[in-house]
Amino acid sequence: MHSLKIIILFILILMLLTCSNESDTAECGMLSSTSLKYGIVFNSCGPADAPVVRIVLTDEKISCGESPASFKHISSYLEITNVEDLKVGMVISGHSYNINNQPDPAYECDAGFENCIDVGVLSIEIVCDDGDRLEGKWSVQGSERAGMFIIEKCKQQRPLCG
């Protein structure tokens, strides 16, 4: 009887340790097979020469320093000014350059920035940050297009805006 109690206690402790480890990292490593699951996020200048962060999502692995023009992609300027300010739990939409404060749309372009089309407002939710990469969820507002991403955080200096 005593050994049964020890075994049950051991199993309970093991379950407790397993559950606490999973909850600490449950959001990390969640990437599943979706389209536009790779990308980069970097400091940039927007169309009005304001400092913004630009996100590029693609089906191909892309690294900082690579031009998104090499890939079919969706890109948007986000309503934040510095990559280092992106934090877990944030939900961010496109930056607004309009008088009516509506977020600007994201654009989907073929390689070489050919055939770019407005796809609607891109929103992202950050669920994991390992320092070099962000994982999260993306969606295009007003459509059923959505997925998960793991993107590289590019920490290069912003070009001089304006």
Beta strand pairing call for 38-45 and 146-153:
parallel
- 128 against 162, higher pLDDT: 128
**Does the pLDDT at position 106 exceed 70?**
yes
Amino acid at position 51, single letter: P
User: What average pLDDT does range 30-55 have in this prediction?
Assistant: 83
**Does the pLDDT at position 39 exceed 80?**
yes
Q: Please check whether residues 81 and 114 belong to one and the same domain.
A: yes
110 contacts: CB under 8 Å, gap ≥ 6: 72, 116
Confidence band, pLDDT 50/70/90 cuts, at residue 18:
very low
Q: Please check whether residues 1 and 42 belong to one and the same domain.
A: no
Answer yes or no: are the C-beta atoms of 122 and 162 closer than 8 Å.
Answer: no
Q: How many domains does the chain have?
A: 2
Give the helix ranges, DSSP H, for the chain: 2-25
Q: Please check whether residues 5 and 64 belong to one and the same domain.
A: no
A 10 A CB-CB count for 53 gives 25
User: Rounded distance, CA 105 to CA 38, Å?
Assistant: 20
Lowest average pLDDT, out of 32-36, 40-44, 93-97, goes to 32-36
Q: Please check whether residues 118 and 94 belong to one and the same domain.
A: yes
Q: Please check whether residues 21 and 77 belong to one and the same domain.
A: no
Q: Please check whether residues 8 and 68 belong to one and the same domain.
A: no
**Residue 87, domain member (yes or no):** yes
Q: Please check whether residues 19 and 43 belong to one and the same domain.
A: no
**Residue 161, domain member (yes or no):** no
Confidence band, pLDDT 50/70/90 cuts, at residue 159:
confident
Q: Please check whether residues 18 and 42 belong to one and the same domain.
A: no
User: What average pLDDT does range 33-49 have in this prediction?
Assistant: 85
User: What average pLDDT does range 120-139 have in this prediction?
Assistant: 94
Nearest to 103 by CA among 87, 92, 116: 92
Task: Give residue 20's domain range.
Answer: 1-29
Answer yes or no: are the C-beta atoms of 111 and 77 closer than 8 Å.
Answer: no
Q: Please check whether residues 13 and 44 belong to one and the same domain.
A: no
| Chain position carrying tokens 């970097």 | 42
